[in-house]
Amino acid sequence: MAQVDAALTAAGAPARGDRPRDGGSGDQPGASTRDRILDVALDLFTDQGFDGTSMREIAERLHISKPAIYYHFASKEEILMALHMRLHEFGKASLARLAGQTVTLQAWGALLDELLDQVVAHRQIFLMHERNQAALEKLHRKDHEDDHDDIQQRFAQALADPSLSLRDRVRMACSLGAVFGALFVAGDAFEDVSSAELGALVRDAVHDVLADRGRTQVSGADATVRSA
C-alpha cells in the first residue's frame, strides 16, 4: 500500500471551475463547526497553499474568531493532518466487509466500485496533497502510521489469498492499479474531464481487467511465448 499512498499524493484534479469541492467553503447546512473549518481550510490550502494560508484567513472566511478554531484544532498543522486522515476512510468499510470472507472477483469489483465513487467525489483532497507535499512530509503521527499499516495489511491479505488463482490475484492487483493510475498517477492528464465521465471510464477499465473474456487471449499469448 506504500505505492498506493504515493499515488494518492501524486493526484490530479479537474479544472478549477469544474472540480468538486469537499464541503463548498464550509457552507454545508447542518455541518459541524469542525467540519466547516476543514472544508474552508481545504479550499484555502488548495488555492493558495498551506504555507500561504493563515489561521486568521480561515477564521475570516467562516466569520468566526481565531479562538473558536483553536477550540477544535491546536494548530494549522493539525488541520492539515485531519484533512489527510480523510483519505484513510476511502474503501475502509468495504475492506472491513471482506475480512474473514472468501474473496471473489465479484466482491473485489464491488469494493473497487465503492472506492472509485469515494475518490472521484473527493478529487480536491488529492489536488490539495499534490500542492502541499512538502508540508505533509513534515507531519508524522503514530495513529496515522498505524492506520496506514492497517489498510496496507488488508489489501495485502486480499491479494495474497491462496484460495484464489494467481491469475485472479494479478488481475485484482492490476484493477486496483487502474483506479489509482488513471485518477492520480496520470497527474493533470485528465484535469479537463468531469468527475462523472472520468469515473465511468475508469469503472469500465476496472471491469475489463476483471472480466473472464481475457483468458483466451492470455492463453494464446503464453503459447506464442513458449513456442518462441
Per-residue pLDDT tens digits for 57-114: 999 999 999 999 999 999 999 999 999 888 777 767 777 777 767 788 998 998 899 8
Residue predicted with more confidence, 7 or 67: 67
For 145-162, what is the mean pLDDT? 76
Task: Please determine, for residue 29, whether its predicted confidence score (pLDDT) is greater than 60.
Answer: no
End-to-end C-alpha distance for the chain, whole angstroms: 36
127 and 11 in contact (C-beta within 8 Å)?
yes
φ and ψ of 189, to 5 deg: -60, -30
Q: Which three cell numbers stand for residue 215?
A: 483468458
pLDDT of residue 147: 63
pLDDT of residue 28: 53
Closest CA to 90 of 180, 186, 29: 180
Residues 6+ apart with CB under 8 A from 156: 1
Kindly report the pTM of this predicted structure: 0.64
pLDDT of residue 86: 83
Q: Is 42 exposed, middle or buried (0-12, 13-18, 19+ CB in 10 A)?
A: buried
Helices within the chain (DSSP H only): 2-9, 33-48, 55-62, 66-72, 76-85, 92-98, 105-121, 123-131, 133-137, 142-159, 166-180, 195-210, 214-227
Residue predicted with more confidence, 223 or 143: 143
pLDDT of residue 15: 34
Give residue 11's pLDDT band: very low, low, confident or very high (50, 70, 90): very low
Distance CA 157, CA 26 (A): 38
pLDDT of residue 141: 66
Averaging pLDDT over each range in 2-11, 35-44, 181-190, which range is the top one?
35-44
List pLDDT tens digits, range 171-213. Answer: 999 998 888 887 776 666 787 888 899 899 999 999 999 997 6
